[in-house]
Amino acid sequence: MKLTVLGSGVLVPQAGHAPSCYFLEAGGKRLLFDAGSGSLQQLVRAGLDYRKIDAFFFSHLHPDHVHELPMFFVAAGLDKANKAKRFTVFGPKGIKRFFAKCLDLYPFMKRLPVKTRFRELADTSLRLGGVKVRSAIVQHTVGALAYRVEAGKKSFVFSGDSEDCLALRKLCWKADLAMLECSSPRKPFSGHLTALDCGALASACGVKHLVLSHLYPASVKANVKGLAGKRFKGKIRVARDFSVIPF
Ligand SMILES: [Zn+2]
């Protein structure tokens, strides 16, 4: 698998940390996790082709995770070089309604020749070719999802936004790479994880490689790697936009 971080940040504008967006290559599939504002441009900057994304997965409907979705749709519809004209989206309950509201706001989008497939997930398992994806409802907004992807012998977990909870721990169990949200260095932050939580969770779940992302300014400034390392002895990396992490 190969993870390319395109948005390691949050709602607060920060150089080097755009809103949430991650590109994962796994088992021959190209999956995009979250699409905060600017994601399309981040993909272009990373030299990745948005037209080749096989499926989008959204964690929840906060703007820093979902606001670029209509832009991808419009690009798919208007780009003459985009022959696929199809758009597969998985996300939490409400993602269909969010998209329908975008269509109401911009009626021209209804006329774009793009085939869409939306599926709302909860605690769900699905397959895309040889890739297994499992979603679980975690502790953030109602219905917020975390994901686990398995292909061959490798596994990847994306926490979305969440507190430490059993559902997230089950997904993380023995994961090769767990990318956990690290909203705060050590001060408890409702609905989110701290660097200390990330370390404790990775350690309890036997994770091999921990990536800390979804960084608020306090986490960017602090030594979150050192803090997580107080609780976790495996490999730790702090995400930055355009980090490329093969595993
Ligand atoms: Zn967030």
Domain count, the chain: 1
Distance 215 CA to ligand 1 centre (A): 9
User: What tens digit of pLDDT does each residue of 151-176 get?
Assistant: 999 999 999 999 999 999 999 999 99
User: What tens digit of pLDDT does each residue of 93-146 get?
Assistant: 999 999 999 999 999 999 999 999 999 999 999 999 999 999 999 999 999 999
Please compute, for residue 105, the number of CA atoms within 13 A of its CA located in the half-sphere on the CB side: 7
In the numeric block, which tokens belong to residue 139?
């502790």
Q: How confident is the model at residue 232 (pLDDT cuts 50, 70, 90)?
A: very high
Task: Tell me what pLDDT residue 117 has.
Answer: 96
Distance 36 CA to ligand 1 centre (A): 9
3-state secondary structure of 240: coil
Task: Tell me what pLDDT residue 219 has.
Answer: 98
User: What tens digit of pLDDT does each residue of 192-219 get?
Assistant: 999 999 999 999 999 999 999 999 999 9
Gap between the Cα atoms of 77 and 117, Å rounded: 14
Distance 111 CA to ligand 1 centre (A): 32
> In angstroms, what CA-CA distances link 31 with 3, 4, 27, 180?
10, 11, 10, 17
Distance 235 CA to ligand 1 centre (A): 24
Q: How confident is the model at residue 149 (pLDDT cuts 50, 70, 90)?
A: very high
Please compute, for residue 32, the number of CA atoms within 13 A of its CA located in the half-sphere on the CB side: 28
Task: Tell me what pLDDT residue 79 has.
Answer: 86
Distance 171 CA to ligand 1 centre (A): 19
Distance 209 CA to ligand 1 centre (A): 22
* Contact (Cβ atoms closer than 8 angstroms) between residue 90 and residue 147: no
Distance 228 CA to ligand 1 centre (A): 20
Task: Tell me what pLDDT residue 84 has.
Answer: 66
The residue ranking higher by pLDDT, 211 or 76, is 211
What pTM, to 2 d.p., does this model score?
0.97
* Contact (Cβ atoms closer than 8 angstroms) between residue 38 and residue 7: yes
Distance 210 CA to ligand 1 centre (A): 18
**Number of residues written out for the chain:** 247
Per-residue three-class SS string for 50-96: HHHCCEEECCCCCHHHHCCHHHHHHHHHHCCCCCCCEEEEEECCCHH
Residue 61 has pLDDT above 90, yes or no: yes
Distance 80 CA to ligand 1 centre (A): 33
Residue 83 has pLDDT above 80, yes or no: no
User: Could you report how far apart the first and last alpha carbons of the chain are, in Å?
Assistant: 6
Give mean pLDDT, residues 4-8.
98
Give mean pLDDT, residues 44-68.
96
Distance 155 CA to ligand 1 centre (A): 23
Residue 96 belongs to domain spanning: 2-244
Residue 230 has pLDDT above 70, yes or no: yes
Strand pairing report for 124-128 and 131-137: antiparallel
DSSP structure string for 123-152: SEEEEETTEEEEEEE-SSSTT-EEEEEEET
Distance 214 CA to ligand 1 centre (A): 7
Gap between the Cα atoms of 161 and 181, Å rounded: 6
Q: What average pLDDT is seen over the chain? A: 96
Which CATH number characterizes residue 36's domain? 3.60.15.10
Neighbour-count burial of 121, counting CB atoms closer than 10 A to its CB (0-12 exposed, 13-18 middle, 19+ buried): buried
Task: Tell me what pLDDT residue 14 has.
Answer: 96
Distance 140 CA to ligand 1 centre (A): 9
